[in-house]
Structure 1
């Protein structure tokens, strides 16, 4: 059996994602911003499509996890959400953010300030969010521990959870042909 000769060009095309080939996606989480303008943020995907499953062909195919950067403008936040199947990591590259942590079924939201080069890992089953209380945008790495994580849920009774439930019913009706 013959082995194919290693091609650096093919390897680079498959496994290298360059900043010059990426753009900030301000629309991937636009549905959240429509609920609350403070939820405005942008994602730039590098490995995999993340939990949003955005149709971005310009990424390295994920084999075990997803990796993206996120821009969080001053005064904005990523709302509390829960991944039931994966841990999620936030690594602050620039600025500072406040991590929001809430145990499922509990009312108290815990806050943890993260500065540059600080990191937090949220296990499955814990609500997590982020907020930028600073005057400048924050830049973070975001990593999810699966190739295609389940869609997140939001706290019961929240406008985002109501929208998620409505969209799930609409998708189900389309699939069933109704």
Structure 2
């Protein structure tokens, strides 16, 4: 049995993330918005860096997964993308979204409407995307099942896939700079 007194303040500093200390990051996915303005959305990180690998010192360090919230404005979308190494979960907190699912190698995109407190888990190797068809913004919880997920890929030949290839070296430099 340990004789040291539990350090509650230290524990809280390391393991508690409060809304009042977060800001919406409208720039983390700005590179997508520059390709298509309908890709506008914001992320608020709580645990880990996520697949974008942005260096955010104001997060709980991830041990097994990443967790963030995402605002998807009315009429906007998250483009189809594929994580080859990790499942991704979208949990709708507010509003509604249409989840887009496409098997690798297929041209068919399936649509699944998700309302408040609905959830979808996309396994590795499946393209997934989101669209907000409503007149109100949607708020989602997003979780990736790895501490440092691989950078997602986009459909072959798309403008986003070409941009991803160019940005891959920048991402690795961010991760390695810790």
Rate the CA distance shift 1:138–1:171 in 2: closer, same or farther, 3 A. Answer: closer
Rate the CA distance shift 1:32–1:147 in 2: closer, same or farther, 3 A. Answer: same
Count of residues in correspondence between the two structures: 172
**Structure-2 separation of matches of 1:169 and 1:68:** 24
Show the counterpart of 1:133. 133
Rate the CA distance shift 1:87–1:93 in 2: closer, same or farther, 3 A. Answer: same
Question: Post-superposition shift, 1:168?
Answer: 3.5
Gaps of 5+ in 2: 173-178
Secondary structure of the corresponding residue to residue 85 of structure 2? coil
Rate the CA distance shift 1:10–1:138 in 2: closer, same or farther, 3 A. Answer: same
Question: Post-superposition shift, 1:4?
Answer: 3.1
8 Å CA contact retained: 2:83, 2:127 = yes
Question: Post-superposition shift, 1:164?
Answer: 1.2
Secondary structure of the corresponding residue to residue 9 of structure 1? helix
Show the counterpart of 2:21. 21
Show the counterpart of 1:98. 98
Show the counterpart of 1:33. 33
**Structure-1 separation of matches of 2:3 and 2:127:** 48
Secondary structure of the corresponding residue to residue 128 of structure 1? strand
Show the counterpart of 2:81. 81
Show the counterpart of 1:4. 4
TM normalised by structure 1 equals 0.93
1:31-51 Cα distance to aligned partner (Å, 9 max, x none): 000000000000000000100
Gaps of 5+ in 1: 173-178
TM normalised by structure 2 equals 0.93
Question: Post-superposition shift, 1:2?
Answer: 5.9
